[in-house]
Amino acid sequence: MIISKSREEIELMRESALIVSKTLGILAPEIKPGVTTLKLDKLAEEFIRDHGAVPGFLGLYDFPNSLCMSPNAQVVHGIPNDTPLKEGDIISIDCGALKNGFYGDHAYTFEVGEVAPEVKKLLQVTKESLYVGIREFKAGNRVGDVGYAIQKYTEDHGYGVVRELVGHGLGKTMHEDPEMPNYGKRGRGKKFVEGMVVAIEPMINLGTKRIKQLPDGWTILTADNKPSAHFEHDVALVDGKPELLSTFKYIYESLNINTKEEEEFRAKVYD
Ligand code: MG
Ligand code: MG
Protein backbone atom coordinates (compact mmCIF):
# COMPACT_ATOMS: atom_id res chain seq x y z
CA MET A 1 0.00 0.00 0.00
CA ILE A 2 1.38 3.40 -0.98
CA ILE A 3 1.34 5.86 1.95
CA SER A 4 0.85 9.49 0.89
CA LYS A 5 2.39 12.18 3.05
CA SER A 6 0.91 15.55 3.98
CA ARG A 7 2.77 18.76 3.12
CA GLU A 8 3.93 18.97 6.74
CA GLU A 9 5.21 15.40 6.64
CA ILE A 10 7.02 16.06 3.37
CA GLU A 11 8.81 19.01 5.02
CA LEU A 12 9.91 16.71 7.86
CA MET A 13 11.15 14.23 5.28
CA ARG A 14 13.07 17.01 3.56
CA GLU A 15 14.80 17.67 6.88
CA SER A 16 15.87 14.02 7.14
CA ALA A 17 16.96 13.94 3.50
CA LEU A 18 19.04 17.10 3.93
CA ILE A 19 20.86 15.65 6.94
CA VAL A 20 21.96 12.86 4.61
CA SER A 21 22.88 15.39 1.90
CA LYS A 22 25.01 17.36 4.36
CA THR A 23 26.61 14.17 5.66
CA LEU A 24 27.72 13.28 2.12
CA GLY A 25 28.95 16.87 1.83
CA ILE A 26 31.26 16.61 4.84
CA LEU A 27 32.58 13.21 3.70
CA ALA A 28 33.38 14.38 0.16
CA PRO A 29 36.69 16.17 0.92
CA GLU A 30 37.86 13.23 3.09
CA ILE A 31 37.60 10.75 0.23
CA LYS A 32 41.24 10.40 -0.83
CA PRO A 33 43.73 7.59 -1.32
CA GLY A 34 44.62 6.17 2.11
CA VAL A 35 41.37 6.88 3.94
CA THR A 36 39.46 3.87 5.26
CA THR A 37 35.74 3.40 4.85
CA LEU A 38 35.52 2.73 8.59
CA LYS A 39 36.90 6.22 9.32
CA LEU A 40 34.32 7.76 6.98
CA ASP A 41 31.62 5.74 8.69
CA LYS A 42 32.59 7.16 12.10
CA LEU A 43 32.61 10.73 10.75
CA ALA A 44 29.16 10.21 9.30
CA GLU A 45 27.70 8.72 12.46
CA GLU A 46 29.03 11.61 14.54
CA PHE A 47 27.67 14.22 12.12
CA ILE A 48 24.23 12.59 11.95
CA ARG A 49 23.94 12.36 15.75
CA ASP A 50 25.19 15.96 16.15
CA HIS A 51 22.25 17.02 13.98
CA GLY A 52 19.62 15.41 16.17
CA ALA A 53 19.16 12.35 14.00
CA VAL A 54 19.96 8.66 14.21
CA PRO A 55 21.89 6.76 11.51
CA GLY A 56 19.18 5.13 9.43
CA PHE A 57 21.05 1.97 8.48
CA LEU A 58 22.76 1.16 11.78
CA GLY A 59 20.97 -1.93 13.11
CA LEU A 60 18.43 -1.92 10.26
CA TYR A 61 17.97 -5.60 9.40
CA ASP A 62 21.04 -5.95 11.70
CA PHE A 63 23.36 -3.96 9.39
CA PRO A 64 26.49 -3.27 11.48
CA ASN A 65 27.35 0.33 10.45
CA SER A 66 25.97 3.77 9.59
CA LEU A 67 27.00 3.80 5.94
CA CYS A 68 26.87 1.26 3.15
CA MET A 69 30.29 1.65 1.50
CA SER A 70 30.64 -0.16 -1.80
CA PRO A 71 33.91 0.32 -3.72
CA ASN A 72 34.55 -0.60 -7.36
CA ALA A 73 32.81 -3.89 -8.25
CA GLN A 74 30.62 -3.71 -5.16
CA VAL A 75 27.13 -2.57 -6.13
CA VAL A 76 25.56 -1.82 -2.75
CA HIS A 77 25.44 -2.93 0.91
CA GLY A 78 29.22 -3.04 1.38
CA ILE A 79 30.34 -2.99 5.02
CA PRO A 80 32.88 -0.34 6.12
CA ASN A 81 36.30 -1.80 6.92
CA ASP A 82 39.92 -0.78 7.53
CA THR A 83 41.17 -1.29 3.97
CA PRO A 84 42.40 2.09 2.67
CA LEU A 85 40.90 3.44 -0.53
CA LYS A 86 43.41 3.80 -3.34
CA GLU A 87 43.97 6.07 -6.32
CA GLY A 88 41.54 5.24 -9.13
CA ASP A 89 38.90 3.58 -6.93
CA ILE A 90 35.27 4.56 -6.95
CA ILE A 91 33.20 4.34 -3.79
CA SER A 92 29.41 4.31 -3.52
CA ILE A 93 28.36 5.81 -0.21
CA ASP A 94 24.76 5.18 0.78
CA CYS A 95 23.58 6.99 3.90
CA GLY A 96 20.38 6.98 5.95
CA ALA A 97 19.13 9.27 8.72
CA LEU A 98 16.06 9.06 10.93
CA LYS A 99 14.66 12.25 12.42
CA ASN A 100 11.15 13.24 13.57
CA GLY A 101 10.10 9.68 12.78
CA PHE A 102 10.98 9.91 9.08
CA TYR A 103 13.85 8.47 7.08
CA GLY A 104 16.17 10.11 4.58
CA ASP A 105 18.11 7.74 2.31
CA HIS A 106 20.41 8.79 -0.47
CA ALA A 107 23.64 7.92 -2.15
CA TYR A 108 26.48 9.15 -4.33
CA THR A 109 29.39 7.39 -6.01
CA PHE A 110 32.67 9.27 -5.48
CA GLU A 111 35.94 9.15 -7.40
CA VAL A 112 39.12 8.53 -5.41
CA GLY A 113 41.84 10.57 -7.07
CA GLU A 114 42.05 10.10 -10.84
CA VAL A 115 39.67 7.50 -12.25
CA ALA A 116 39.87 5.69 -15.62
CA PRO A 117 37.87 7.46 -18.36
CA GLU A 118 35.49 4.53 -18.92
CA VAL A 119 34.66 4.48 -15.20
CA LYS A 120 34.19 8.27 -15.11
CA LYS A 121 31.75 7.86 -17.96
CA LEU A 122 29.85 5.14 -16.07
CA LEU A 123 29.43 7.51 -13.12
CA GLN A 124 28.29 10.37 -15.32
CA VAL A 125 25.74 8.31 -17.25
CA THR A 126 24.39 6.67 -14.08
CA LYS A 127 23.88 10.06 -12.46
CA GLU A 128 22.20 11.38 -15.59
CA SER A 129 19.92 8.32 -15.61
CA LEU A 130 18.84 9.21 -12.07
CA TYR A 131 17.48 12.56 -13.29
CA VAL A 132 16.05 11.00 -16.45
CA GLY A 133 14.15 8.58 -14.21
CA ILE A 134 13.00 11.19 -11.70
CA ARG A 135 11.49 13.27 -14.51
CA GLU A 136 9.05 10.40 -15.15
CA PHE A 137 7.91 10.43 -11.51
CA LYS A 138 4.85 12.57 -12.17
CA ALA A 139 1.06 12.51 -12.06
CA GLY A 140 -0.47 10.09 -14.56
CA ASN A 141 2.68 7.95 -14.78
CA ARG A 142 3.40 4.57 -13.26
CA VAL A 143 6.34 2.76 -11.70
CA GLY A 144 7.24 1.22 -15.07
CA ASP A 145 7.69 4.65 -16.67
CA VAL A 146 10.56 5.52 -14.32
CA GLY A 147 12.16 2.10 -14.70
CA TYR A 148 11.83 2.18 -18.47
CA ALA A 149 13.51 5.59 -18.69
CA ILE A 150 16.50 4.55 -16.55
CA GLN A 151 16.91 1.23 -18.34
CA LYS A 152 16.71 2.77 -21.81
CA TYR A 153 19.16 5.53 -20.99
CA THR A 154 21.79 3.26 -19.47
CA GLU A 155 21.42 0.26 -21.80
CA ASP A 156 21.84 2.61 -24.76
CA HIS A 157 25.35 3.12 -23.35
CA GLY A 158 25.89 -0.63 -23.18
CA TYR A 159 25.68 -0.89 -19.40
CA GLY A 160 24.03 -3.57 -17.26
CA VAL A 161 21.01 -2.68 -15.12
CA VAL A 162 20.89 -4.59 -11.83
CA ARG A 163 17.56 -6.39 -11.48
CA GLU A 164 17.63 -7.82 -7.97
CA LEU A 165 17.93 -4.49 -6.11
CA VAL A 166 15.49 -1.64 -6.55
CA GLY A 167 14.43 1.78 -5.29
CA HIS A 168 11.50 2.08 -2.94
CA GLY A 169 8.89 4.15 -1.20
CA LEU A 170 10.21 5.99 1.85
CA GLY A 171 8.62 7.35 5.01
CA LYS A 172 8.30 6.19 8.60
CA THR A 173 9.96 3.00 7.44
CA MET A 174 13.02 2.76 5.20
CA HIS A 175 11.37 0.53 2.64
CA GLU A 176 7.73 1.18 1.78
CA ASP A 177 5.59 0.46 -1.24
CA PRO A 178 6.10 0.74 -4.10
CA GLU A 179 9.25 -1.00 -5.25
CA MET A 180 10.94 1.20 -7.86
CA PRO A 181 12.95 -1.00 -10.25
CA ASN A 182 15.50 0.57 -12.57
CA TYR A 183 14.02 -1.36 -15.48
CA GLY A 184 10.49 -1.77 -16.73
CA LYS A 185 7.85 -1.16 -19.33
CA ARG A 186 6.04 2.08 -20.02
CA GLY A 187 2.58 2.34 -18.49
CA ARG A 188 3.02 -0.71 -16.25
CA GLY A 189 2.99 -1.03 -12.48
CA LYS A 190 1.46 1.02 -9.71
CA LYS A 191 0.16 4.49 -10.49
CA PHE A 192 1.85 7.42 -8.77
CA VAL A 193 -0.24 9.34 -6.24
CA GLU A 194 0.09 12.87 -4.89
CA GLY A 195 2.14 13.11 -1.69
CA MET A 196 4.04 9.85 -2.14
CA VAL A 197 7.79 9.86 -1.47
CA VAL A 198 10.25 7.51 -3.16
CA ALA A 199 13.95 6.80 -3.20
CA ILE A 200 15.01 6.42 -6.83
CA GLU A 201 18.40 4.74 -7.10
CA PRO A 202 19.88 3.39 -10.33
CA MET A 203 22.51 0.68 -9.76
CA ILE A 204 24.32 0.40 -13.07
CA ASN A 205 27.17 -1.92 -14.03
CA LEU A 206 29.93 -1.32 -16.56
CA GLY A 207 29.63 -4.96 -17.67
CA THR A 208 27.08 -7.63 -16.94
CA LYS A 209 23.84 -6.90 -15.09
CA ARG A 210 24.36 -10.07 -13.08
CA ILE A 211 25.42 -9.88 -9.44
CA LYS A 212 26.74 -12.11 -6.67
CA GLN A 213 26.88 -11.79 -2.90
CA LEU A 214 29.82 -12.12 -0.53
CA PRO A 215 29.67 -14.68 2.30
CA ASP A 216 29.19 -11.75 4.76
CA GLY A 217 25.52 -11.93 3.75
CA TRP A 218 25.48 -8.26 2.80
CA THR A 219 27.89 -7.16 0.10
CA ILE A 220 26.50 -7.28 -3.43
CA LEU A 221 29.02 -7.18 -6.26
CA THR A 222 29.04 -7.56 -10.01
CA ALA A 223 29.35 -11.13 -11.31
CA ASP A 224 32.21 -10.09 -13.65
CA ASN A 225 34.01 -7.92 -11.05
CA LYS A 226 33.70 -4.84 -13.27
CA PRO A 227 32.79 -1.51 -11.61
CA SER A 228 29.26 -0.52 -10.62
CA ALA A 229 27.79 2.93 -9.97
CA HIS A 230 24.95 4.00 -7.66
CA PHE A 231 23.22 7.36 -7.24
CA GLU A 232 20.08 8.00 -5.20
CA HIS A 233 17.72 10.87 -4.46
CA ASP A 234 14.63 11.18 -2.27
CA VAL A 235 11.75 12.62 -4.25
CA ALA A 236 8.20 13.69 -3.32
CA LEU A 237 5.27 14.00 -5.72
CA VAL A 238 4.00 17.54 -5.13
CA ASP A 239 1.37 19.18 -7.35
CA GLY A 240 1.82 16.29 -9.74
CA LYS A 241 5.54 16.93 -10.20
CA PRO A 242 8.73 15.44 -8.77
CA GLU A 243 10.29 17.53 -6.04
CA LEU A 244 13.83 16.68 -4.91
CA LEU A 245 14.06 16.43 -1.13
CA SER A 246 17.78 15.56 -1.17
CA THR A 247 20.54 17.43 -2.95
CA PHE A 248 24.10 16.85 -4.15
CA LYS A 249 24.92 20.55 -3.75
CA TYR A 250 26.86 20.07 -0.49
CA ILE A 251 29.10 17.53 -2.22
CA TYR A 252 29.73 19.92 -5.09
CA GLU A 253 30.44 22.82 -2.72
CA SER A 254 32.97 20.69 -0.81
CA LEU A 255 34.71 19.58 -4.00
CA ASN A 256 34.53 22.95 -5.79
CA ILE A 257 32.58 21.35 -8.61
CA ASN A 258 30.67 23.87 -10.66
CA THR A 259 27.50 22.26 -11.99
CA LYS A 260 23.98 23.38 -12.72
CA GLU A 261 22.55 19.85 -12.91
CA GLU A 262 19.85 20.32 -10.26
CA GLU A 263 18.79 23.70 -11.69
CA GLU A 264 18.67 22.15 -15.15
CA PHE A 265 16.61 19.28 -13.78
CA ARG A 266 14.09 21.69 -12.24
CA ALA A 267 13.94 23.73 -15.43
CA LYS A 268 13.03 20.58 -17.38
CA VAL A 269 10.41 19.52 -14.85
CA TYR A 270 8.74 22.94 -14.73
CA ASP A 271 9.03 23.97 -18.39
MG1 MG B 1 20.13 4.32 -0.08
MG1 MG C 1 17.33 3.42 -0.91
Residue 271, marked binder: no
Residue 168, marked binder: yes
Tens-digit pLDDT profile for residues 207-261:
999 999 999 999 999 999 999 999 999 999 999 999 999 999 999 999 999 999 9
Rounded to whole angstroms, the Cα distance separating 65 from 79 reads: 7
Q: Which amino acid is at 26?
A: I
- C-alpha closest to that of 134 among 68, 73, 78, 202: 202
Domains of the chain and CATH, by start: 7-265 (3.90.230.10)
Average pLDDT, the chain: 97
Gap from CA of 12 to ligand 1 centroid (Å): 18
Gap from CA of 16 to ligand 2 centroid (Å): 13
Residue 232, marked binder: yes
| pLDDT above 80 for 11 | yes
Gap from CA of 104 to ligand 1 centroid (Å): 8
Gap from CA of 105 to ligand 2 centroid (Å): 5
Would you list the DSSP string of 91-154? Answer: EEEEEEEEETTEEEEEEEEEE-SS--HHHHHHHHHHHHHHHHHHTT-STT-BHHHHHHHHHHHH
Mean pLDDT of 72-90: 98
Gap from CA of 166 to ligand 1 centroid (Å): 10
Residue 201, marked binder: yes
Gap from CA of 212 to ligand 2 centroid (Å): 19
Report pTM: 0.97
270 confidence band (pLDDT: 50, 70, 90): confident
Q: What is the pLDDT of residue 6?
A: 98
Residue 106, marked binder: no
Rounded to whole angstroms, the Cα distance separating 14 from 17 reads: 5
* Residues surrounding ion ligand 1 at CB below 5 Å: 94, 105, 107, 232
Residue 51, marked binder: no
Gap from CA of 150 to ligand 2 centroid (Å): 16
Which ligand neighbours the alpha carbon of 173 most closely? 2
Residue 77, marked binder: yes
Rounded to whole angstroms, the Cα distance separating 181 from 161 reads: 10
